């Protein structure tokens, strides 16, 4: 598969560009820049100018709110076909968060001017962008709800349920999650510490709710894990 073919397939798999015709996708692919990042390498920092849209073509990305003390809160994790950096292109403000690679990652980069031109001429793209922004707002609302109303064990269980539903929406048992996350990453997703997450994961293993294997985590029973989150 050539690079252009790979870029077209990646674009076609993104909800932002899935409505484009093949000829449009090939034209768009020709204007993309390919960037590669090592594990933990920063893609852009909070406060940087918003000059491009990134589309994940391989690997995984975390979107992070950093603190002045060096801690971080992970507010989103992204996989192939997901996009990020769109907010700054819409309102022209600096980057609202930091993006970093969770593992060896490649993104396809669309410059701001090219994105704005597409947005002006493609009503379907505007609709897809609005749908994506609404979905992100709903997801973040749910995240705030979990932080306020669930204890740490509940937040961990619910985060695993959400990751499983993103991976295999229809599955209820034995959902295998590819696992680029460290325990520190998981702690940063739920507002805990690495030590507390390690203890809670061990408890979930003991209860038969999850299995941990090299580079993967298996959700044994999503319904039971959901009930565990709601205790």
pLDDT in tens, 13-59: 999 999 999 999 999 999 999 999 999 999 999 999 999 999 999 99
Find where tokens 């029973």 sit: 221
Residue 221 exposed, middle or buried by CB count within 10 Å (0-12, 13-18, 19+): middle
Q: Which of 44, 49, 174 is nearest to 98 (CA)?
A: 44
User: 102 near 60, Cβ under 8 Å?
Assistant: yes
Domain ranges of the chain: 3-146, 151-229
How far apart (Å, rounded) are the C-alpha atoms in residues 113 and 93? Answer: 15
Class of domain 151-229: mainly alpha
**1 pLDDT higher than 80:** no
Over residues 61-115, the pLDDT tens digits come to 999 999 888 788 999 999 999 999 999 998 989 999 999 999 999 999 999 999 9
User: 157 near 113, Cβ under 8 Å?
Assistant: no
**pLDDT bracket for residue 214 (50, 70, 90):** confident
Q: Residue 2's pLDDT is what? A: 85
Q: Residue 80's pLDDT is what? A: 93
Q: Residue 67's pLDDT is what? A: 84
How far apart (Å, rounded) are the C-alpha atoms in residues 171 and 7? Answer: 29
Q: Residue 150's pLDDT is what? A: 92
Tokens describing residue 64:
């992070």
**182 pLDDT higher than 90:** no
What backbone torsions phi and psi does residue 94 show, to the nearest 5 degrees? -65, 170
Parallel/antiparallel/unpaired status of strands 72-78 and 61-66: antiparallel
Q: Residue 70's pLDDT is what? A: 77
Q: Give long-range contacts, CB 8 A cutoff, 24+ apart: 135-144.
A: 136/76, 139/76, 140/75, 143/75
Q: Residue 208's pLDDT is what? A: 94
- Buried/exposed 70-84: b ≥16 CB within 10 Å, e otherwise: eebbbbbbbbbbbbb
What CATH superfamily is the domain 3-146? Answer: Jelly Rolls (2.60.120.10)
Q: Residue 167's pLDDT is what? A: 82
Query: What is the chain's length?
Result: 231
The conformation of residue 36, written as its DSSP 8-state character, comes to E
Whether the domain at 3-146 and the domain at 151-229 fall into the same CATH topology? no
**202 pLDDT higher than 90:** yes
Q: Residue 219's pLDDT is what? A: 93
């Amino acid at each position: 598969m050539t690079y252009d073919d790979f870029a077209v397939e990646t674009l076609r798999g993104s909800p932002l560009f899935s409505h484009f015709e093949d000829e449009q996708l090939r034209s768009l692919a020709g204007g993309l820049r390919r960037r590669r990042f090592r594990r933990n390498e920063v893609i852009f920092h909070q406060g940087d100018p918003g000059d491009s849209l990134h589309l994940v073509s391989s690997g995984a990305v975390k979107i992070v709110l950093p603190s002045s003390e060096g801690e971080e809160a992970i507010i989103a994790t992204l996989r192939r076909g997901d996009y990020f950096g769109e907010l700054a292109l819409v309102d022209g403000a600096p980057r609202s968060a930091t993006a970093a690679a969770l593992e060896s990652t490649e993104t396809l980069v669309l410059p701001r001017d090219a994105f704005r031109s597409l947005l002006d001429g493609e009503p379907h793209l505007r609709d897809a962008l609005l749908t994506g922004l609404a979905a992100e707002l709903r997801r973040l609302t749910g995240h705030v709800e979990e932080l306020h109303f669930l204890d740490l064990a509940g937040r961990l269980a619910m985060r695993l349920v959400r990751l499983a539903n993103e991976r295999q929406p229809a599955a209820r048992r034995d959902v295998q999650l590819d696992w680029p996350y460290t325990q520190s990453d998981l702690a940063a997703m739920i507002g805990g510490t690495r030590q507390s997450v390690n203890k809670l994961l061990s408890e979930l293993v003991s209860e038969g709710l999850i299995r941990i294997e090299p580079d993967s985590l298996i959700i044994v029973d999503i319904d039971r894990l959901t009930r565990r989150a709601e205790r």
